[in-house]
Amino acid sequence: MSERLDDLLAFLGEATSPFHAVTALSRRLQDAGFTAVEHLDGMSFEAGQGYFVTANDSSIVAFRAGSGRCEEGLRMIGAHTDSPNLSVKPNPLKQRSGTQQLAVDVYGGALLNPWFDRDLSLAGRVSFVNSTGDLASRLIDFRRPIAIIPSLAIHLDREANKNRSINPQTDILPLIAGLPTDEGSSLNWGQFLADQLGAQYPEEGAVRILDFELSLYDCQPPGLVGIDEAFLASARLDNLLSCHAGLTALLAADPAQWSLLVCNDHEEVGSTSAVGAQGPMLVDVLNSITGTAAASRRLRERSKMLSVDNAHAVHPNFSDRHDEAHGPLLNQGPVVKINRNQRYATSGEGSALLRLLAERAEVPLQHFVVRSDMGCGSTIGPITAAETGITTIDLGVPTLAMHSIRELAGTADIDYLGLLLTAFYNRVA
């Protein structure tokens, strides 16, 4: 297994929520000598040194200062930290049929069927008042199975294999407890979270939980599948795979070049938020790097961004869902995503640049265009391009089961993407 793939497996296991993804990215950046910065304004940047800022603990921008003037243009890679999931509602506890259940909301366009019969855990951020009366927040992750959504048996729904639909309000509430207790069977949710916080942060002392952003995740770790280990199966490949590829490329890139990585939260729900791709984070960083609005505009005009997000591979059982001339295959290289209606940002010139880059980096390249009779997904690409004016190209590894609780990518594509992104940062083309 390549070092990159090995670290990707570790990263996917650590990054159980967008907050944990940013923590895992930050740690790797710090280990590589990057400096965490609160505000960039007024700073001067040393050539070859790396810096990063985070927002809401769930979005991050990291960059390395090159030796030349940044106004000549930056090479940037963008990805997103969030994935579809089941998110816990503010008043979550429900008592039904002798069990304690959690009320959940569906975050993003989740494929719901695969959430049944999985050992689920819970991760995210809790906000609390501490023993000195101050408001604080910390990330928590139970890292053990504490919830499950059992299927309805086929004997009680004989049509299940034909057309079972799922009502997100009533059908997907996970069970989290079920044994009768002396105090009655009602769980104290606030205390339950406070106990986990206390176990992870004993120095916080007694706390009172005020609110939280928590989501469920599958406890099964990422793994390689296939007799030749051709497949990587994991939750959140869309889009943590790309966050990790961007990170490893940034760390491997020529330190004499200006290079930047932005990983935004909230892509799966449209990117319109303070820390999403439609928010001010990236432009604020570029304004701080250049010092003036005019210089920032010049930099953006001369910069290029790769928006890296997974692409739909042809599913062998459903191959008619692809245009036959534009159907990417697993393990045959990264995919340039093209949509003339601007659901993807790639222009003909951008796609040409990638063809040249891939040739020189000796990486195979594929192309995706959605069938003309089907709707097209989107990415942070068009939004980032619209907000910043930066020429943007949409690209990603071919993936099956996108938005399932367990997605599938090709192991060969991980290294191909890494090589291509490093070549992009190094301006091989």
- Find the shortest distance in angstroms from Cβ 286 to Zn ion: 23
- Find the shortest distance in angstroms from Cβ 14 to Zn ion: 19
3-state SS, residue 166: coil
393 forms beta bridges with: 306
- Find the shortest distance in angstroms from Cβ 310 to Zn ion: 6
Other Cβ atoms less than 10 A from the Cβ of 80: the count is 28
- Find the shortest distance in angstroms from Cβ 118 to Zn ion: 21
- Find the shortest distance in angstroms from Cβ 238 to Zn ion: 4
User: 10 exposed, middle or buried (CB, 10 Å; 0-12, 13-18, 19+)?
Assistant: middle
Query: Which residue is it, tokens 């963008």?
Result: 78
- Find the shortest distance in angstroms from Cβ 80 to Zn ion: 6
Angle (CA) 403 408 411, round 5°: 140
Other Cβ atoms less than 10 A from the Cβ of 332: the count is 16
- Touching Zn ion, residues 292-311 (CB under 5 A): 309
- Touching Zn ion, residues 150-189 (CB under 5 A): none
User: 44 exposed, middle or buried (CB, 10 Å; 0-12, 13-18, 19+)?
Assistant: exposed
Q: Which is nearer to Zn ion, 86 or 402 (CB)?
A: 402
- Find the shortest distance in angstroms from Cβ 309 to Zn ion: 4
Q: Which is nearer to Zn ion, 147 or 400 (CB)?
A: 400
- Find the shortest distance in angstroms from Cβ 379 to Zn ion: 6
User: 390 exposed, middle or buried (CB, 10 Å; 0-12, 13-18, 19+)?
Assistant: buried
Strand ranges, E, within 68-171: 75-80, 85-96, 99-107, 120-129, 135-141
- Touching Zn ion, residues 13-42 (CB under 5 A): none
Q: In the stretch 203-242, what mask flags binding to Zn ion with x, by CB under 5 A? A: -----------------------------------xx---
Q: How many residues bind Zn ion (CB under 5 A)?
A: 3
Q: Which is nearer to Zn ion, 197 or 414 (CB)?
A: 414
Distance CA 246, CA 393 (A): 14
- Find the shortest distance in angstroms from Cβ 330 to Zn ion: 17
Q: What is the 3-state secondary structure (H, E, C) of 271-304?
A: CCCCCCCCCCHHHHHHHHHHCCHHHHHHHHHHCE
Q: Which is nearer to Zn ion, 266 or 300 (CB)?
A: 266
Q: Which is nearer to Zn ion, 71 or 82 (CB)?
A: 82
Q: Which is nearer to Zn ion, 252 or 269 (CB)?
A: 269
- Find the shortest distance in angstroms from Cβ 267 to Zn ion: 6
| Both structure tokens of 156 | 């009680």
Distance CA 42, CA 61 (A): 17
- Touching Zn ion, residues 306-335 (CB under 5 A): 309
Distance CA 37, CA 285 (A): 11
Distance CA 122, CA 218 (A): 9
Q: Which is nearer to Zn ion, 213 or 309 (CB)?
A: 309
In degrees rounded to 5, what are phi and psi of residue 132?
-95, 10
Other Cβ atoms less than 10 A from the Cβ of 27: the count is 12
Q: Which is nearer to Zn ion, 174 or 398 (CB)?
A: 398
Q: Which is nearer to Zn ion, 100 or 379 (CB)?
A: 379
Q: Which is nearer to Zn ion, 57 or 309 (CB)?
A: 309
Q: Does 57 bind Zn ion (CB under 5 A)?
A: no
Catalog residues that contact Zn ion under the rule CB under 5 A: 238-239, 309
